[in-house]
Amino acid sequence: MKKKLILAAAGMFSVFALAACSSGSQDIASMKGSTITVDDFYNQVKSQQSSQQTVQTMIIYKVFEDKYGKDVSDKDVQAEYDKSSKNAKDQGQDFSEQLKQNGYTEKSFKALIKQSLAYKAGIKSHIKITDEDLKTAWASFHPEVEAQIIQASSEDDAKAIKKELDNGGDFTKIAKEKSIDETTKKDGGKVKFDSQSETIPAQVQEAAFKLKDGKVSDPIQATDSTGYQTTFYIVKMVKNKAKGNDMAPYKKELKKIAETNKQNDQEFVNKVISDELKAANVKIKDDAFKDVLASFMQTEDSSKSSDSSKKEETSKEKSSKSSESKESSDSSSKTEDSSK
């Protein structure tokens, strides 16, 4: 899925490369009595939402590449490229053909990967992990456990398997015979995972962490990453480990979790992008895209507005206290005069 999205973005970038690198008077097509030029094409697509989004992404990626591209090595880029190629191969697709269909060569696609990695490096450079961030990560953290799983396609199948297990069936043998999880069934369903693992659904993790060693769960309903496909799991806990009360032994894992939480925090990411756009002094020259960065400028304006509101509230509080103090002083003075 991720690679398809990258390739889709690459396709949109190539469309705008055509408009940017070609003369406006260049003909794209001709027919009796008329032609379609690059300018015609540009004027047709520039107001489309997808075009606005693409220009926004191009600006952001360019800003981050200019500043953080030096932090991305050729080795990093090649590793991502190889990962994309392998992903296509695993899906039975020709990666070279995918690139071609999206208007990219190996060289130009690697350039896109570098921009993507520079963007990630830029976001990460703004992350400062606090003790509060670590405490938040600790709240949902669970150390790695050893378990066995059986995955079934329906609730009825899962219930039938659970009944067989309750009647003394061997978990390893049944997993090899009946689990639909091709990755684990050959090894009797053996898995290792912690609270950050992406290979085991969150619903399964939550149920598994509650199990004591040797115990088997009831069927657990879980939804895959697409949110559409539902399957059922049965888990046998082999070795569970309580995290205890001391964060120190897990500080490295907690820091990684906290960083991921920050990277997934859209408000934080938008603020970083806003700051970087401002630092790069980005100016929109084409009125067709005048609002393309508005959402990030609003982030900055909102922050200023919030600070302004806080200062105004503080000022009002001081004024109120000063007024109350004056009224109190006047009242005391009147009381003294009355006494006299």
CATH code of residue 167: 3.10.50.40
Per the model's pLDDT, the better-predicted residue between 233 and 12 turns out to be: 233
DSSP string, 48-81: SHHHHHHHHHHHHHHHHHHHHGGG--HHHHHHHH
Q: Could you tell me the two tokens for 67?
A: 């500043």
Confidence of residue 34 (pLDDT cuts 50, 70, 90): very high
49 in a structural domain: yes
Q: Assign 66 a pLDDT band (cuts: 50, 70, 90).
A: very high
Boundaries of domain holding 79: 2-125
End-of-domain residue from the set 77, 97, 125? 125
Mark which of 239, 262, 285 sits at the end of a domain.
239
Q: Where are the beta strands (DSSP E) in the chain?
A: 27-31, 34-37, 145-152, 190-193, 220-223, 230-239
12-44: burial string, b at 16+ Cβ within 10 Å, e else:
bbebbeebeebeeeeeeeeeeeeeebbeebbee
Tokens for 174, please give them: 């049944």
53 occurs within a structural domain: yes
Q: Does a structural domain hold residue 43?
A: yes
DSSP class of 182? T
Is residue 284 assigned to a domain? no
With contact defined as beta carbons under 8 Å apart, do 53 and 111 qualify?
no
Residue 73 sits at φ, ψ, to 5 deg, of -90, 160
Is 301 a domain residue? no
Inter-residue contact 2 to 16 (CB < 8 Å): no
Q: How many CA atoms lie within 13 Å of 285's alpha carbon, on the beta-carbon side? A: 2
110, 67: one domain: yes
Label residue 38 by pLDDT band (50, 70, 90).
Answer: confident
- pLDDT value of position 102: 86
Q: What is the mean pLDDT of residues 315-321?
A: 54
Percentage with pLDDT > 70 across the chain: 79
- Rounded to the nearest 10 degrees, how much is the dihedral formed by the CA atoms of 245, 249, 251, 253? -100
Considering the domain architecture, whether residues 172 and 204 belong to the same structural domain is answered as: yes
Say how far apart CA 140 and CA 133 lie, in whole Å: 12
Length of the chain: 340
Residue 74 domain flag: yes
Last residue within a domain, chosen from 172, 207, 239: 239
Spatial neighbors of 224 by CB under 8 A, at least 6 apart, are 201, 230, 231
Residue 340 binned pLDDT confidence (cut-offs 50, 70, 90):
very low
d(CA 118, CA 69): 5
What is d(CA 77, CA 102) in angstroms, rounded to the nearest whole number? 19
Please tell me the pTM assigned to this model: 0.69
Apex CA 72: angle with CA 70 and CA 76, to 5°? 160
Q: Is the residue at 62 inside a domain?
A: yes
For residues 29 and 38, what is the distance between their CA atoms, to the nearest angstrom?
Answer: 9
Do the beta carbons of residue 84 and residue 6 sit within 8 Å? yes
Whether 58 and 114 map to the same domain: the answer is yes
pLDDT in tens, 165-194: 999 999 999 999 999 999 899 999 999 999
Contact of 257 with 137, CB cutoff 8 Å: yes
**Letter for the amino acid at 241?**
K
Distance of CA 179 to the CA centre of its chain: 31
Number of domains in the chain: 2
Residues 55 and 95 reside in one and the same domain: yes
Provide the pLDDT for residue 64.
97
Looking at the fold, whether 101 and 57 belong to one and the same domain comes out as yes
- Whether residue 272 is contained in a domain is answered as no
In whole angstroms, what is the distance from residue 274 CA to residue 142 CA?
A: 35
pLDDT band at 316 (very low <50, low <70, confident <90, very high): low
Helix (H, G, I), strand (E, B) or coil at 30: strand
Cα 137 from Cα 43, distance rounded (Å):
49
